[in-house]
């Protein structure tokens, strides 16, 4: 604790004044709790990646069904929209009977939220594929599966990856609510810090969430540009024209 004679000292004689005074900015907290912060960050990344990956596996078939059958379009888009309107705490509570207090509750909940963006973006991407491209592929003997994997999905990548970027950033934010069931990554530190009013823990964990969201968005933006070089050439040609 901070005494009248000066700042508190550790056994090594180092000042820990920021911890003793419960300051918002405290490098000593980061130094002494580095392992805890790294573990929470790793859990946060894992939960986010698993949720978005699961959502993508569900979104592609739903988008394909919505494009193939008009009767499936309304239910697919409507259901995913309704899921997005459910408050996160209520969503996790509804999943508890099926998964119990486990990380699966958070991963599944975030995946369901991500479906809204991903289904719409995948569908928009598939519908933007030029008809002449699919007709040319069919003329070359492409079957439905080969046409999808080698022509339609590659051309739909810009819209698909744009949806993945939005879903990932949203999942990074919502993952913190998983602290209510003990699997919130950095959210665990934020909630614990708020309960004890541990200022540096709340601020540091919150800042790391922001850094994760920005880093994920920039990484996916780079991936999008690397996988779709033709979009840059198209934009460059448009500006030159």
Q: What is the pLDDT of residues 11-32, one digit of tens each?
A: 444 445 888 888 888 888 888 8
- The fold for domain 34-227 equals MetI-like fold (1.10.3720)
Average pLDDT over residues 91-112: 92
For residue 160, the cross-strand partners are: none
164 DSSP 8-state letter: H
Are 63 and 70 a contacting pair, CB within 8 Å? no
- Count how many residues are written for the chain: 241
Confidence (pLDDT) at 45? 96
Question: Which class for 34: exposed (0-12), middle (13-18), buried (19 or more C-beta within 10 A)?
Answer: exposed
**CB count, 10 Å around CB of 185?**
28
How far apart (Å, rounded) are the C-alpha atoms in residues 201 and 186? 10
The domain locations on the chain are 34-227
**pTM of the entire predicted model:** 0.83
Task: Find the range with the poorest average confidence among 65-74, 109-118, 139-148, 231-240.
Answer: 231-240
């Amino acid at each position: 604790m901070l005494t009248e004679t000066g700042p508190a000292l550790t056994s090594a004689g180092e000042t820990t004044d920021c911890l003793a005074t419960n300051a918002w900015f405290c490098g000593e907290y980061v130094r002494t709790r580095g392992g805890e912060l790294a573990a929470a960050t790793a859990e946060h990344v894992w939960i986010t990646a698993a949720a978005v990956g699961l959502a993508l596996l569900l979104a592609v078939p739903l988008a394909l069904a919505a494009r193939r059958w008009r009767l499936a379009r309304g239910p697919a888009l409507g259901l995913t929209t309704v899921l997005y309107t459910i408050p996160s705490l209520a969503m996790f509570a509804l999943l508890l009977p099926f998964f119990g207090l486990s990380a699966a509750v958070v991963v599944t909940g975030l995946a369901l939220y991500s479906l809204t963006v991903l289904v719409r973006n995948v569908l928009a991407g598939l519908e933007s594929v030029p008809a002449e491209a699919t007709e040319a592929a069919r003329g070359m003997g492409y079957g439905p599966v080969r046409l999808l994997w080698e022509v339609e999905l590659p051309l739909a990548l810009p819209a698909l990856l744009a949806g993945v970027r939005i879903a990932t950033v949203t999942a990074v934010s919502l993952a913190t609510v998983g602290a209510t069931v003990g699997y919130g990554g950095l959210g665990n530190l934020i909630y614990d810090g708020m309960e004890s009013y541990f200022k540096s823990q709340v601020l540091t964990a919150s800042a790391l969430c922001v850094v994760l969201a920005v880093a994920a968005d920039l990484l996916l933006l780079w991936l999008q540009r690397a996988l779709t070089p033709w979009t840059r050439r198209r934009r460059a040609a448009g500006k030159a024209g």
